[in-house]
Structure 1
Amino acid sequence: FQCTNMAMGGLPDVNTENPAFQKYYMDFVNRLLAYGVSGFRYDTAKHIALPSDPLDSLSERNNFWDVALGREAVDGVKLAVPADSLFIYGEVLQDKNVKEEEYAGYMKLTASNYGHALRHVLEEQDYYADSLGSWHHPSPGTKLVTWVESHDTYANAHESAHISDAAIRQGYVFLTARSEGTPLFFSRPAGSTRQNYWGNNLVGARGNDEFMHPEVVAVNKFRRRMHGQPEIVRATDSGRVVVVERGTKGAVLINLSDGEQTVSLPSALPDGNYVDKVHNSSFTVNNGELSGKLAPLASYIITGRGVAI
């Protein structure tokens, strides 16, 4: 009751169950859709009640999500397009007593616990330091928005801010190379360093250039080209190098460590020589074994013949 009806962070709670507010809100949403908006992120979504949550004394039903997602109208106003034609996800940070499965019946959700596990792997420079085979969530990967870090983990007590830009980038490449989850890249403040987390931070200004790094650009393109291809994740015995293969069409190799690594792992890629799309480094697949060298904290994107990115 406190989570969904009371003040949060010193801010008064919006009466989301009030039909007058709901109509006002849906008029606003429909104007955005008319302008061409194609998706929404619901901030603090777990602070908006589900039908099964306790009622505020002034409310008859907890039906905000049914109205917001177009399942019912309010005072003649309804979501202007089908909800499944939009990209909608809710910031439902994982914690005790969070009804993740019920929220997932409405929209995609944030996989905050998976981000925590991935950061542990990056800090230890060891794929086996935590479990990345499970999404740490009751929902499947197709319903999740994934991240290495968020604005909260960066700014609130600087939980993730000490991790280098390069290590964060390797984590993002890993998430994006995978077949499931929708990866989110947090743009750190421009001019920020590991000694000065805020950098040249200004409200409304764009962040640093990491989102344009060649590894980020290449893996974004790789993900699009590999749509529908099955996924296999492998790691070296040391855990320093992880490889995400997508069928027989391509692979992404990630060096999690700050030292040069040599890789030799089984591969489904056809035998042959490959040159990665970022660093122009050479890799070889011979008798089903992928081999090559990786620079510290670097990612390599390779694709088979006829697969351009």
Structure 2
Amino acid sequence: MDSPRSRGRTRPFLRRTAALAAAALAASLALAVPTADGAVARGRSTQEPGVTVSLWEWNWPSIARECTDVLGPAGYDGVQVAPPQNSLKRTALGNGSDTVLHPWWEVYQAVSYDLTSRMGTEAQFKKMVKACRKAGVKVYVDAVINHTTGQGSTSYGGVDYQPYTYAGTYDKGDFHAPSGECPSSDGGIQDFNAKAQVWNCNLVGLEDLRTGTDDVQAELAGYLNKLIRYGVSGFRVDAAKHMPQRDLDAIYARLNRTADGVRPYWVLEVLPGGPGVLRPEAYLRSGDVLGVDGARQMQQAFKSYTGTGNVGSLSSLEVFGPEAGLTPGAKTLSFVTNHDSERNRNDYLSSQDGPTFILANQWLLAQGYGSPQVYSSFTWEQADASPPARPDGRVTDTVCGQGWTCDHRNPGIVAMVGWHDYVGKAKRANFWSDDANVVAFSKGNRGWVALNNGAAAKQVRVQTGLPGGRYCDVVGGAPSAGACTGTVVTVGSTGFATVTVPAKGVVAITRASRR
């Protein structure tokens, strides 16, 4: 929820004592460990989240069922959920171009930290987290902690508010603009390359919190710690680029350990663009970052190719990761698209790209860069569209194919989740390409995969890196009762195989699929 380039519209998007704040900070510093570059990690979790799925704006009962029935059995390690805090509830349309009463971005305008959202009640949220953890799926929350609202006066939780005044939570002294700390002429960000504006002014009208103060940090940490007590394992920090690294570090320092006894996962939304301290690389000291640049490179490779002119090609992704200018994989949550980027279809892929989108997700799972996240949400025609909901804006139960994409259930993606987990951290070897839209490679001696982004099937003869034998293609049909239910790949004694890779398709084998 961060980029000015994706905001052609105005996106309307307790107190604690200083002594307690100092004590929390001191306790966190006691856990601090120096990193390789000499920075202090402040006890930050080094655990990667594995393969996750973003069930964006699904309601809590639907996510609970999905964890039990689909995500756990499919091998997904975690699920990212939409912001659960109480948010703006619009009661009227705005200007003439505003045609959606309850757009998706309502949930990104925080009113209070009660868990009374479009997605359900606090009791339903707790039940969802418990069900997911029981299924072996960790829950990660999209946390809105940079700002509050930009319009309206009431919320889904029934809390009324006025600009910069949220009874029992914040008053004007808790915001940058009323405190005179925003240097722009209108209180908003006018120059996205100016540090003081990016950190201290309102992002597209959203009231920017003074996250450097003890009171605001305590309020935010109290909210996040409540989620941790309920079993949440970590957070995607929305609009993190609009908070100084020192503020993010101070808030993280106040967080408790998770139910698994580790520090919570912490991944920051820091979009590319801007100089120096505003770049994603500058935030790596404070957490992992979203792999937005990687998503853009995937779109350039997968979608630009037209069959005539070779404007882009899958083979160009032979180099992907830090060597291609991306952030280190161990510090990156990677994805093909997310809720912001899918609405910028000139630069990113989306579910609307059909088989190409599925193939891109399969490629990311095979390539193994970062911690891969599959995105699954609702269908839409206009960018502000609401998820399927009742007239009052509350999101209805998910029914796949009826307004919901459920791309994470695609058998080809599920198969590659298993392939990804099986090959683990094995290094890529035996890379082959036709210099256009077919690539193949092995991962150590654990598995081999070929992907075809072309419009026609292609036969290839390549080195698989695997012992000779007959293997079941896990994408075309998993092994069953000792036999292959789909394609059989025959690997010769020298490791070579001749394979036909279907158009917009994948062939993948592992040592475990040998028959």
TM-score by length of 2: 0.51
CA contact (8 A) 2:293 2:326 kept: no
With over 3 angstroms needed to count, the CA separation of the structure-2 counterparts of 1:138 and 1:124, relative to structure 1, is closer
Residue number in structure 2 paired with 1:17: 212
State which drifts further: 149-158 or 1-10: 149-158
Question: What pairs with 1:234-273 in structure 2 (closer than 5 Å)?
Answer: 234-273=431-470
Of 264, 267, 270, the residue aligned with 1:89 is 267
C-alpha distance in 1, partners of 2:513/2:337? 34
In the alignment, structure 2 segments of 5+ residues that lack a partner are 1-195, 306-312, 390-394, 399-403, 477-485
The offset of 1:268, in angstroms, is: 0.9
Counterpart code for 2:320: G
CA contact (8 A) 1:118 1:132 kept: no
The offset of 1:197, in angstroms, is: 6.4
Question: SS where residue 303 of structure 2 aligns?
Answer: helix
Residue number in structure 2 paired with 1:294: 501
The offset of 1:158, in angstroms, is: 5.8
RMSD: 2.7
State which drifts further: 209-218 or 116-125: 116-125
In the alignment, structure 1 segments of 5+ residues that lack a partner are 51-62, 71-77
The offset of 1:233, in angstroms, is: 6.6
Residue number in structure 1 paired with 2:244: 49
Question: SS where residue 450 of structure 2 aligns?
Answer: strand
How many pairs are equivalent?
285
Of 361, 372, 391, the residue aligned with 1:172 is 361
The offset of 1:227, in angstroms, is: 1.8
CA contact (8 A) 1:269 1:288 kept: yes
Residue number in structure 2 paired with 1:99: 279
Residue number in structure 2 paired with 1:33: 228
Higher relative contact order (CA 8 A, sep 6+): 2
The offset of 1:68, in angstroms, is: 2.1
- Identity rate of aligned residues, in percent? 21
CA contact (8 A) 1:267 1:288 kept: yes
Residue number in structure 1 paired with 2:388: 202
Question: SS where residue 270 of structure 1 aligns?
Answer: coil
C-alpha distance in 1, partners of 2:375/2:273? 21
Residue number in structure 2 paired with 1:118: 298
Residue number in structure 2 paired with 1:60: none
C-alpha distance in 1, partners of 2:386/2:214? 43
Residue number in structure 2 paired with 1:283: 489
Q: Establish whether residue 79 from structure 1 lines up as the match of residue 255 from structure 2.
A: yes
C-alpha distance in 2, partners of 1:144/1:305? 29
CA contact (8 A) 1:233 1:242 kept: no
Question: SS where residue 302 of structure 1 aligns?
Answer: strand
CA contact (8 A) 1:120 1:129 kept: no
Q: Deviation string for 1:221-274 (max 9, x for gaps)? A: 122222232223723224322224221111222111121111222221112222
Question: SS where residue 340 of structure 2 aligns?
Answer: helix
Question: SS where residue 286 of structure 2 aligns?
Answer: coil
Question: SS where residue 183 of structure 1 aligns?
Answer: strand
The offset of 1:200, in angstroms, is: 8.3
Q: Deviation string for 1:2-24 (max 9, x for gaps)? A: 11111112212111112101111
With over 3 angstroms needed to count, the CA separation of the structure-2 counterparts of 1:266 and 1:233, relative to structure 1, is closer
Larger Rg: 2
Q: Deviation string for 1:158-204 (max 9, x for gaps)? A: 643676221111111111123431112222424x5xxx467984364
C-alpha distance in 2, partners of 1:254/1:31? 44
Question: SS where residue 85 of structure 1 aligns?
Answer: coil
State which drifts further: 36-45 or 176-185: 176-185
With over 3 angstroms needed to count, the CA separation of the structure-2 counterparts of 1:131 and 1:277, relative to structure 1, is closer
Counterpart code for 1:202: P
With over 3 angstroms needed to count, the CA separation of the structure-2 counterparts of 1:236 and 1:284, relative to structure 1, is farther
After TM superposition, which residue ranges in structure 1, 4 or more long, deviate above 6 angstroms? Answer: 197-200
Of 51, 69, 73, the residue aligned with 2:252 is 69
